[in-house]
Amino acid sequence: MSKKPVTPPARKVAVLGAGSWGTTFAKILADGGNDVMLWARRDDLAEDINETHRNSDYLRGIRLPLNLVATSSMAAAVKNAEQVYLCVPSQTLRENLVQLAPLLRDDQIVISLMKGVERKTGLRMSEVIAEELPISPDMVAVASGPNLALEIAKEQPTAAVISSQSLETASQVALTVSNRYFRCFVNTDVPGTEFGGVLKNLIAVAVGIVDGVGYGDNTKASIITRGLAEMTDFAVAYGAQPETLAGLAGLGDLIATCESPLSRNNTAGRLLGQGYTLKEVTNQMQQTAEGLASVAPVLTLARAREVDMPIVEQVSQVLAGTLDPKDIAPHLTTDTDEPQGERSLDDYQARGGGVVWGALKRAFNQLRDSPGSPSGD
Binding site, annotated residues for NADPH = 20-21, 41-42, 58, 115, 149, 264, 290
**Residue 50: count of CB within 10 angstroms of its CB:** 15
Q: What is the pLDDT of residues 168-201, one digit of tens each?
A: 999 999 999 999 999 999 999 999 999 999 999 9
Residue 252: pLDDT band (50, 70, 90) is very high
Using the predicted structure, report yes or no on whether residue 352 has a pLDDT greater than 50: no
Clarify whether residues 160 and 97 are in a common domain. yes
CATH number at 171 reads 3.40.50.720
Is 377 among the domain residues?
no
- Strands 35-39, 12-16: pairing is parallel
Please list the active-site residues.
200
Q: What's the CATH number where 241 sits?
A: 1.10.1040.10
Question: Domains in the chain: how many in total?
Answer: 2
- Are 181 and 34 in the same domain? yes
Assess contact for 91 and 63: CB atoms under 8 A: no
- Same-domain pairing of 233 and 266: yes
The domain boundary, picked from 188, 212, 234, lies at 188
Percent of the chain with pLDDT over 90: 73
Tell me what pLDDT residue 368 has. Answer: 47
For residue 359, pLDDT beyond 70: no
Q: Is 4 exposed, middle or buried (0-12, 13-18, 19+ CB in 10 A)?
A: exposed
Domain presence at residue 371:
no
232 and 138 in a single domain? The answer is no
Residues 112 and 221 in one domain: no
Domain that holds residue 120: 12-188
Q: Model-level pTM?
A: 0.84
Q: Please, what is the average pLDDT of the chain?
A: 87
Q: Which has more confidence, 145 or 364?
A: 145
Is there a single domain that holds both residue 114 and residue 200? no
Task: Identify whether 351 is part of a domain.
Answer: no
Residue 347 lies in a domain: no
Which residues are known binding-site members? 17-22, 41-42, 58, 115, 145, 149, 200, 253, 263-265, 290
> Is the domain of 116 the same as that of 41?
yes
Same domain, 318 and 207: yes
- Say yes or no: 122 and 18 in one domain: yes
Going by the annotation, the residues of the binding site for sn-glycerol 3-phosphate are: 115, 145, 200, 253, 263-265
Which residue, of 188, 222, 248, is where some domain finishes? 188
| pLDDT level of residue 373 (50, 70, 90 thresholds) | very low
pLDDT band at 204 (very low <50, low <70, confident <90, very high): very high
Among residues 167, 188, 209, the one where a domain terminates is 188
Domain match, 282 and 172 both: no
Residue 215 backbone dihedrals phi, psi, to 5 degrees: -70, 160
Residue 249 maps to a domain: yes
206 is a domain residue? yes
In this prediction, residue 342 carries a pLDDT of 67
Q: What is the pLDDT of residues 108-167, one digit of tens each?
A: 999 999 988 998 999 999 999 999 999 999 999 999 999 999 999 999 999 999 999 999
Please check whether residues 58 and 154 belong to one and the same domain.
Answer: yes
For residue 366, tell me if it sits in a domain. Answer: no
Select the more confidently predicted residue: 329 or 368: 329
- Which residue numbers belong to the known binding site for substrate? 115, 264-265
Same domain, 38 and 136: yes
Report if residue 367 sits inside a domain.
Answer: no
Binding site members for NAD(+): 17-22, 149, 264
